[in-house]
Every structure is written in structure tokens, then in C-alpha cells.
Structure 1
Amino acid sequence: MRLIRDREWLPLLAHTEQPEAIQCQLLLSILASQRNTQFGRQHGFASLRSYEEFSRAVPVLGFEDLREQIEGQEQSGECLLNAEQPVHYVQTSGTTGKPKHLPMVRSALEWIDQYQRLFAFAQWAGVPGIYDGQVLVIAGQTVEGQLPGGAPYGSMSGLMNEALPQAIRRKSVLPEGILSVADVRLKYLRIAACAVAAEALSVLATPNPSTILKLLEVIRSEFPHLVEALTVGPRHPIFSQSAVWAEPIPVSAHRLAYLQTLTEHASTLDLATLWPGLRAVITWTGGNCGVLIPKLRTLLSQETAVIEMGYLSSECLGSLNVDVRENRCIPTFQEHVFEFIEVKDDDGHAPGPVLLGDLRQGQKYQVLVTTRSGLYRYAMNDIVEVTGWFNRVPTIQFVQKGKGVTNITGEKLYEHQVVEAVDTVLKASGIACEFYVMLADVHAAGYTLYLEQAAVPSSFSCKVDEQLTRMNVEYEAKRESGRLQPLRAVLLRPGTAEAYRAHCVARGQRDAQFKLIRLQYPHDCSFDFSQHLR
């Protein structure tokens, strides 16, 4: 860790004192290296000398604007977007139903290695003893298949897992191959068995906290079978259904004896009881995931840190947590060129993009990014909020996907407003509800809130409606005028959350990176809630 501090951490701190200069140098470097690509020639990269010239020459782009050149270069090897042929692609779902394959050149993969070293150092410096024990990381697969041109594709979380420093990877409790098990139930059973066997687990990491809650649910419901499987070994059905690995899971007699004492209390097991030495949980804490953090904290000891994993996407690793105690995350300004478009709560004209030095604390922004791998002024469709400053670099927190915005009659309702309104009413009503989704029905001119809940007070819908009118003046105006109908609450049967997640995974979302969008249009939500009504 001292080598990382001297070679990478201290230079990063120096760069945080001059982010604008670093961003300018990076942009000019990208333009110079890509000037002879087809895209570079079309947009005159060779003659561009500043951000202002770059923003005039290149429009804001989405993936579909670049798809033809991305796929063309992968299949032909011609320098259409990148002077350097991409060596890997990150697959994610696309807006058209066709997957997106985002190119990664060699230097981008090397950056992921550096990012993980920096993040590991921040964790080591902020949480004493964090890596003294074993490590459980639940991620996607690095390689899931090959494209027509032969290049591999997979998940960003898989790349991040593979890029962990070797000293940390050697502490993993999961054997090779376990994350590639296709049967989701069997995979979770095997992960649960490995996790339960871990006597000295000190770190649990996965992008979405719902994965942790799901793992605990499996451990609780299958605890006697898991203990039995660890006692029997590889011959047990949990392990013998497919030959993903042959080695037995190492578990000490002392650990088995401890697990036996927990059998009678399996249904109420928490993370603190399973792993008393757990020093940190690393996961997303912003956006939709923030709803789950209070419950997660109740399952941990007070000494266990909950560390924000950062603003991460398939396109890029957008922020780095440099202060894990306060969860202060800075944009990865030394690797990606950032632009930000202010989010306006009214229907006024959206201002033009601004740069890092122009951001204002408390303001929300849409994100544009330019990468070394051929994404130029790329619209991330994400909203972040500026939470403060780290030296001269703003700290940011993910708020929601940009598509988490609906507009039936001009109210322009944001997902974060729905989350805040629903959570406020749930808390006031003394109700714990983890799964809810609100759909904006343009034809009915109203919103329907679906909740996996046995019962809610008769005034629940009205209370949520009232909260939204307080938070959104246009929503209030549309409700008062009758253009927007009263909000409806619809209760769902137990198990709907799991069915919804399974549905999304079947349609291309990765289980380990599952993101619940709590505000959607019906045409964007293919899940049939009507089959799960109480």
C-alpha cells in the first residue's frame, strides 16, 4: 500500500489542486491520438485546440449515434472511432432492445487496474484492518461471449473484480467459476455456502445492496442445508449439480461448531452475527440504492463501515471515493473529460454544458463524458448532485438515471422526488417497504404506485400525493387544475420483488448490477404487475 501511496495516491492529490489543467491536457491528448480515425477526420480533430472548439465541432452523442462505427471497427479492424483497436467490450442493455457493446482500449483496462489500486488505498487508509481478513466480492462475469469480430465482451463489474490488487484477490472466499453459474438459485446457494464458511470475513463488496439482502435471505432460508453441505463436502447436491469446481470449501471445525449454535435462530440471522469481524461493506448508497441502506445498517454492527462504491457505469468509472469515512467521491477527471448540463426543475431553456470548475454545490447535473475508448461528448443519461469539494475538485453523488423522469401534463416528476415522498410517508406510517415502482400513465393522466405490501393506511395515496405537491410546484399546479388525476396505490403479493428482478435479469440486466428504476412509463416497463396483485 505504501508503493500505491507514493506512486499513485500522492500524484492524484497533487492533480486535485489543478483539475482544469488536467482536463485540458487530457482532452488535447485524446484529440491528438484520435485525429486520424474516421470520426476524428470527420470532426476536424487535427485542428481543434480547446474545449470550446471541440464542443462546437462535436455534437452531444448517444450510443445509437456511434453504434455503426463501433460495430464496424470491431468487425473490420478499421480505425473508425479508435486509433487503437479495442481489446474488450462492456455489454449493457440498449434503449432499442439491442445490447450496447462499449469499446475498451488497452489503456482503459490499465486504468481500471489503477482505479482499483487507488480505491483500495483509500479503503486501507480510512478503515483500519479492512483487509486483514477474507473478502467476498459478488460481481458479473468479465467475459460473457465474443462479438462477430472475435473480441470478448462482459460486464464492468467483472472487469473491476479482475482488476483488484492480487493481494486482495488472494483473500477471496469464492472459487473460480462460481460467478459464471447460469442457474441463479444454484449460484446464490453456492455463494452462500462459501460466505457462511468464511470465519474471518472482513470485506463484503457488490454494486447493489439488494444483492446483499438477497444473499442474507438465501442464508436464512437455507441455513440448515448450508451447514449440512459444508459438513458433507463436494458430494452434497448444492455442489454436485454441475462441475464448476471440484475442490471442497475450506471450513474449520471451530467455524462449523459456531454455525451449529446459530441453527435455531436462522430466520433472524444478521450480517454482524455471521461475520463479527466484518470491517466494511462496499456498495452503492446513492440513488435508488439509498432506500436499502437503512435496512442494511440494521444488519451490521456499528463498527462496520458502509463505503460508497462510486458513480460507476458500463461506459466508465465515473467517480472515485477518496474519503471512505465521509464517502466523498470525485469525478475521475484524470482519465475522462467531463461536461455537465444543469438540471432545471422548470420548463425553462436548458443551459449549455459547463466544466468541472463551474459546478455549484447542491446543484444537479446531467453528465457528458469523453473517453480514450471512442466515446465523444457521450450523454450518460445520468444525474449527479454536487455534494461539496475535495481540494479544487467537486465531490459528486449519483442521484438517478436521466430516464427516471416522467412528464404527463408538464409536471416533470423526478425519480428522486418519488423516492423521497414515498419514503417520508412510509416512515410516518411506521411501514417498512423495500419494493415499490411508480408508473406514469399518460392515457389515464395519472400515476400508479405499486408496492409489495400487505396493507397501507387508507390515506396512504393522498399522503404521497401531498408530499409530491410540496416538492414539485408543477405537479401541484397540475393536480389543482385537474389535469393530473389523484395518485393510486396498488398492493402486490409477496415475492413480486424477486419476480421483477428475475424478469429484468432475463431481459439482459445483470443480477449483480441490477438497478431498480422506481419511476417509469408503462411502455418502458415490460413487467406485468397485474399478475401479482393482492
Structure 2
Amino acid sequence: MSLKDLEELTSNAKQIQDDVLKEILTLNANTEYLHRFLHGSSDKELFKKNVPVVSYDDVKSYIERTANGGEPSDVISGKPITGFFLSSGTSGGKQKIFPINNKFFEDMTFIFALRSQIIFRHIKDVQEGKAITFFFVKPQSTTPSGLPVSNMLTGFLMSDYFKNRPSNRFTSPDEVTLCQENKQAMYCHLLCGLVQRDEVVSLAAAFASSLVGAITFLENYWKEMCSNIRSGHVSEWISDLSCRDSVSIILGGPNSELAELIEEECKKKSWKGIITRLWPKTKFIQTVVTGQNAQYIPILEFYSNKLPLISTAYGSSETIFGVNVNPLCKPEDVSYTFMPTMSYFEFLLADEGNNGEIVDLVNVKLGSYYEPLVTNYSGLHRYRMGDILQVTGFYNSAPQFRFVHRKSAVLSVSVEMTTEEDILKALNHAKLVLKPSHLILMGFTCYADISTHPAHYVFYWELKATNINDTVKLDEKMLVDCCCVMEESFCSLYREFRKKNGSIGALEIRVVAQGTFDSLMEFFISQGASVSQYKTPICINSSEALAVLEKSVIAHFFSDKSPPVGSKIQY
């Protein structure tokens, strides 16, 4: 594929979208689900008039009938279902399964190739270099009908589309990427990356949280990796034989000079810039830093000496949406250009006073907020995504969207509504207060504690000293100030209820022990989430997950004054 494809697709977005809908309806009009509304027709206007907007619960029974066997794909899809994707469950709180077919993998292959071409256009001399990719697979399960169930990345990595890709720019052999024991895979990803340090031009992971986790893992295991490099032998606990054999080939025998060089960097007082110190030719980091992953931007900038953080694509278990055609923009300015071939896209106006207006892809308006509705090739029709996006511009005739927040990620203890975007902005203001302390916020989450009177917001923070061997010293005044600054950042309704009638209590920060957010990730993985797709939830709804956090709390801090009721504090 070439950038010419990008120009052609975005210049003909309306016609392509009409053709996509026609093709989907022609394939699916006689499925049990769609026949109720269309009676075999593939007419666009009839589709818009008769087919309802749905959420997961509305179509869950159709999906489960296909998954559980005994009923063919055409209950919901005219194209044979080849498997199911399992959503992570860390954004919306519950795992869901979605039917898929090979069209999804074809789209992923196309998007991967397109984003590479876009990067090559903007960053010189990376075509021949290699990427350390922190990709992980989770063992697949099967439905009663015998079809595979996996997360999106596992499904792709275990498909022929990945195995037969035209080129391999990863430092890790496929045996490592496909290793189903995540600790062994992480160790070998890092070991292979260190051995090939002179060829590394980028680091990549699906989400920023995975990259931060990789650096934390390296802090704990660099001495052992240096021992492996010095001896030319992989640690005995790497028991996956195919993984072990392929990494041994990359090690290629003893290399004491390289081991000493890595040791010299890793034993320094601070790990600031450790990525560029260990991999000096690295030009960028490729990972999602939008939405809830925005919290990891300062940590990655600290570790990388502010290398470009590139969010290349926007996708989900339901569909691929689009790509970032301006990869070197600031993380807060990331927008995704929707690709009209992926699915049929409609948009439900999300602004206040919404009258149920739904518009096509090319008819969205600059600056407006929308929730996307997806009609895809595997059985979803006018499916509500639950994401809120803002139109930021157009690339030819294809609109560009900024991810704003998940509808489900909302804090509320009264009638106020504090969104994911509000929370992240408040957190950024608090980090300015935290900065002089030489502490890094490694992870956070929050929940609305309604067991107290008045109810209040609780934020769990895991803090780490910027110098490796320093202990975390908690300054009470500074952390109380962080509580106050966050409250000052929230909406006027929150501040009014907090100050005037006392129906919202003082915001609380609970500092947890180091490693707590690793334990939280392990909890969600034990519940079915995957390492590759894991995203630390901004808001916690699970009592079991809260219990993981609560047992590690080491200190409590509360806002000591009510926020001003006037306009928000400016920073």
C-alpha cells in the first residue's frame, strides 16, 4: 500500500461509505436480525428509517446464539463468522464478545501498513531500523461451536495475516511474541531489544501503560539480563523451548562489552532518559496516549527524554476507525482521520440539547461532539460505541476526530457529572504541584465513595521517586494542595455542591504502596483481560478491584478548603 491510497480514500469518502453500506446490507439483509427491519431490502433510506440504534445488551442474545453453537452465523451475519473478539473490560467494566470475520484482519493489515507509510513520511531513516514491540498473546478459548475467542491483538498475532506479513522489523522473533507466558515474553522482548540496541529506532506497545510496565520490569531484571548477555545463555527459568531457542540465536554467544555498557547506564542514580541511553538511535515511541492513557505521558517523557509519542491508530473490538496522519503532533492534539472502507459510520450528536440527530460520516460539523455508531461486516448495525469524539478538522473529505472520553467513565456522588476528560485535566494540574517534589505519579484510579456522609471522590495514587534508590517521602502540605487543585479544576456544579450545601465531601487522595497498580493489572488479567489490551481503569466499579487497592493504602490526604465557586482556576 502507499500514501496514494490515503489520498484516494479520503477524497471519495461519501461514495465509499455509500458503497460500504450497500455491500453490508446486501450481505446481511436476510439475516434473522436485519430481516425484521428490512425484509430483504438493501435500501439506505429504509435502513436509516427502520434499523434501531442499539447497545450491547440489545444484540447480546444474537451473538450468544451464534457463539453457543446449534445456530449458524446467519442469525446475525451473512458472512461466515470465523471467531470472536473479547473486549478488555477495563474501560467499560464488563467483558463483551463480538463476532468477527477475515475482513477485520484485512483491515488491520491495511492500517498497519498505512501507519508505517505515514511515519516514514514524517521521520527519516527508520525504514531499515527495528522496533522493540511489547506485544503479548493470551491463550485462546473456544465457543461451544468451536470458534476461537481472543482479544483483538491476540487474534491478529495468531492469524496468518501476521505470520505471513511481508517484512519483520521487530527485535523479537515471533516465538517470543507468541509466547503465552507473559513474564517470559516480557523478559525476552527486553533481552532481544538490548542485544540489538544499535538497530533499534522505536519502541512500541498497544497502550502506554504496557510501555511503563516494561520499563518497571527492566528495573527489576536488568542485572539478570546483563548476566545473560555476558554469558551468552538465557536464564533457566525461561522454560518455553521455542522462545528460549530463538532468543539464544539472537544472543549469539558471550558479549561482556555490551553487558558492561548496559550495566553502566542502569546503575546510575536516575533513570531519566533511560530509553535513549540504552537505545541511542530511538527516534519515537509508538503507543496510544489518548484517553485514559494520557496519564502516562509525563512518565514516558521522563524515561525517553521527551521523544515523540505517536498514537498511530484508533480501533476497537468492533471496528478499526482510522489513523493519525500527523504523527508528530503533541499528544494532546492527536486526531484520527476516519477511513471510509472500514465500516459504515454514523454519528449521534452528543451536545447538550441533542434531539436524536444522526448524521453520516461526511456530514459531521467542525467542533461538534458525537458518539459514533458502527455498522460493520460481521453483524453489528448502528451499534453505539460509548466513545465521545470531537470533530477537529477534515483530511480531504474525511473528518478527523479527537477522542474526548468514554461515556461510562464518569464520577458522580450527587447530580454533578465528572467525565474522564475532567479527571485527566484535574490530574494534570495536580502534577504541577507534585513536580518540585521529585516524585512521579506511576498510576492512578478513582471512585465515588458513597459510604461516607457526605459522599466524596477518592483517588488512589502510586508514587515513585525520580532517583532509583530514593524512598518516597510524603509531604502532607503538598498532597493536600494536590487535593485542592484537583477540586478547583472540576465543573461549577461540583464546586457549588462542595462549598455551599455540603452534599459533596472533601476530595481524598489515598497513596498506595509501590507495585499496587501491577497487582491491579494482575487482578484484571485473572478476570480475563490481556496484558496487551490492559488499560488502567480511570474509574473503578468493581468491589474486588477496590479491595486490591485498599489493602495497599499507606496514607490518606484530604482537601482542606472548599474550591471557589466562580470560574475554574486557570493554570
TM-score by length of 1: 0.89
Equivalent pair of 1:133/1:201 in contact (CA under 8 Å)? yes
How far residue 38 of structure 1 moved from its aligned partner, in angstroms, is: 0.9
Question: Separation in 2 of the partners of 1:259 and 1:205?
Answer: 23
Question: Separation in 1 of the partners of 2:420 and 2:480?
Answer: 17
Which of 441, 447, 455 is the equivalent residue of 1:433?
441
Question: Separation in 2 of the partners of 1:183 and 1:167?
Answer: 24
Matched, 1:291 2:289: no
1:283-331 CA-partner distances (Å, limit 9, x unpaired): 00211212212321233356x5322132221222222222323354212
Aligned counterparts, 1:90-239, within 5 A: 90-93=85-88, 99-141=95-137, 144-161=140-157, 163=161, 169-199=167-197, 200-234=199-233, 236-239=235-238
The 3-state SS of whatever aligns with 1:250 is helix
How far residue 20 of structure 1 moved from its aligned partner, in angstroms, is: 2.7
Question: Separation in 1 of the partners of 2:388 and 2:404?
Answer: 6
How far residue 275 of structure 1 moved from its aligned partner, in angstroms, is: 1.2
Q: Which residue of 2 aligns with 1:504?
A: 524
Question: Separation in 2 of the partners of 1:242 and 1:165?
Answer: 19
Q: Which residue of 2 aligns with 1:449?
A: 459
Q: Which residue of 2 aligns with 1:14?
A: 8
Which of 260, 282, 286 is the equivalent residue of 2:286?
282
How far residue 85 of structure 1 moved from its aligned partner, in angstroms, is: 1.0
Gaps in structure 1 of 5+ consecutive residues: none
How far residue 78 of structure 1 moved from its aligned partner, in angstroms, is: 4.6
Equivalent pair of 2:10/2:339 in contact (CA under 8 Å)? no
Which of 416, 435, 438 is the equivalent residue of 2:421?
416
How far residue 456 of structure 1 moved from its aligned partner, in angstroms, is: 4.7
RMSD of the alignment, in Å? 2.9
Question: Separation in 2 of the partners of 1:181 and 1:166?
Answer: 18
The 3-state SS of whatever aligns with 2:374 is strand
**Higher RCO (CA < 8 A, seq sep 6+):** 2
Q: Which residue of 2 aligns with 1:259?
A: 259
The 3-state SS of whatever aligns with 2:414 is coil
Matched, 1:405 2:398: no
Question: Separation in 2 of the partners of 1:168 and 1:205?
Answer: 19
Matched, 1:514 2:521: no
Q: Which residue of 2 aligns with 1:60?
A: 53
Which of 342, 356, 365 is the equivalent residue of 2:370?
365
Question: Separation in 2 of the partners of 1:10 and 1:103?
Answer: 32
Question: Separation in 2 of the partners of 1:321 and 1:505?
Answer: 29
Equivalent pair of 2:80/2:101 in contact (CA under 8 Å)? yes
Which of 72, 77, 81 is the equivalent residue of 1:82?
77
Equivalent pair of 1:343/1:365 in contact (CA under 8 Å)? yes
Matched, 1:320 2:319: no
Question: Separation in 2 of the partners of 1:368 and 1:39?
Answer: 17
Matched, 1:476 2:477: no
Could you tell which deviates more after superposition, 222-231 or 234-243?
A: 234-243
Opposite residue 494 of structure 2, the aligned amino acid is Y
Question: Separation in 1 of the partners of 2:14 and 2:414?
Answer: 41
Which of 375, 392, 397 is the equivalent residue of 1:392?
397
Question: Separation in 1 of the partners of 2:457 and 2:504?
Answer: 8
Gaps in structure 2 of 5+ consecutive residues: 464-471, 555-571
Q: Which residue of 1 aligns with 2:386?
A: 381
1:212-258 CA-partner distances (Å, limit 9, x unpaired): 22222222332221022134345631434766442314246796513
Q: Which residue of 1 aligns with 2:31?
A: 37
How far residue 531 of structure 1 moved from its aligned partner, in angstroms, is: 0.4
Question: Separation in 2 of the partners of 1:332 and 1:45?
Answer: 30
Sequence identity (%): 19
Question: Separation in 1 of the partners of 2:244 and 2:380?
Answer: 39
How far residue 160 of structure 1 moved from its aligned partner, in angstroms, is: 4.7
Opposite residue 80 of structure 1, the aligned amino acid is V
Equivalent pair of 2:232/2:255 in contact (CA under 8 Å)? no
Opposite residue 413 of structure 1, the aligned amino acid is T
How far residue 423 of structure 1 moved from its aligned partner, in angstroms, is: 1.8
Question: Separation in 2 of the partners of 1:426 and 1:284?
Answer: 20
Opposite residue 239 of structure 1, the aligned amino acid is I
Equivalent pair of 2:372/2:385 in contact (CA under 8 Å)? yes
How far residue 377 of structure 1 moved from its aligned partner, in angstroms, is: 1.1
Opposite residue 111 of structure 1, the aligned amino acid is D
How far residue 529 of structure 1 moved from its aligned partner, in angstroms, is: 2.2
How far residue 521 of structure 1 moved from its aligned partner, in angstroms, is: 4.0
Opposite residue 510 of structure 2, the aligned amino acid is V
Question: Separation in 2 of the partners of 1:226 and 1:531?
Answer: 32
How far residue 393 of structure 1 moved from its aligned partner, in angstroms, is: 1.9
Question: Separation in 1 of the partners of 2:415 and 2:208?
Answer: 34
Equivalent pair of 2:88/2:533 in contact (CA under 8 Å)? no
Question: Separation in 1 of the partners of 2:451 and 2:542?
Answer: 10
User: Structure 1's 128 and 93: CA in aligned 2 closer, same or farther, altered over 3 A?
Assistant: closer
Opposite residue 207 of structure 1, the aligned amino acid is A
Opposite residue 504 of structure 1, the aligned amino acid is F
How far residue 463 of structure 1 moved from its aligned partner, in angstroms, is: 5.1
